[in-house]
Amino acid sequence: SQQGEEDPQALSIQEGENATMNCSYKTSINNLQWYRQNSGRGLVHLILIRSNEREKHSGRLRVTLDTSKKSSSLLITASRAADTASYFCATYTSGTYKYIFGTGTRLKVLA
């Protein structure tokens, strides 16, 4: 079952622009992770944010978490053609021992 809904489903931007993707979820969580998947390959872990954190940075990535709104956003700054991929959020809730994935956002960065 899908815990997270992501929007937009698809996003097309020009190289150099920023890309923002949003993830909403339904239940309380312990952490939320963002992943990238290139063209049907395995998933690459991008960043983990815990429920007691509000913002994290990693290179050109910025993730925010608002537990009151049960939402997170992933910002990719100064996008590159190589950022073209699908991006997924995944949430973990203590006691469930499993991660639940969102629906994903397909990002296309035009050179």
CB of 53 to other proteins, least distance (A): 12
Check binding of 33 to other proteins (CB under 8 A): yes
Check binding of 88 to other proteins (CB under 8 A): yes
Check binding of 40 to other proteins (CB under 8 A): yes
Structure tokens at 25: 């979820």
Rounded to whole angstroms, how far apart are CA atoms 9 and 53?
26
Q: Are strands 99-101 and 71-76 parallel, antiparallel or unpaired?
A: unpaired
**Of 10 and 78, CB closest to other proteins:** 10
Contact by Cβ (8 Å): 105, 87? yes
Check binding of 65 to other proteins (CB under 8 A): no
From 41, 68, 69, 111, residue interacting with other proteins (rule: CB under 8 A): 41
Check binding of 25 to other proteins (CB under 8 A): no
Going by C-beta distance under 8 Å and a sequence separation of 6 or more, which residues neighbour residue 54?
64, 65, 66
From 32, 100, 107, 109, residue interacting with other proteins (rule: CB under 8 A): 100
Rounded to whole angstroms, how far apart are CA atoms 35 and 17?
20
Structure tokens at 30: 């312990």
Interacting residues toward other proteins by CB under 8 A: 1-2, 30-31, 33, 35, 40-45, 48, 50, 88, 90, 92, 94, 97-104
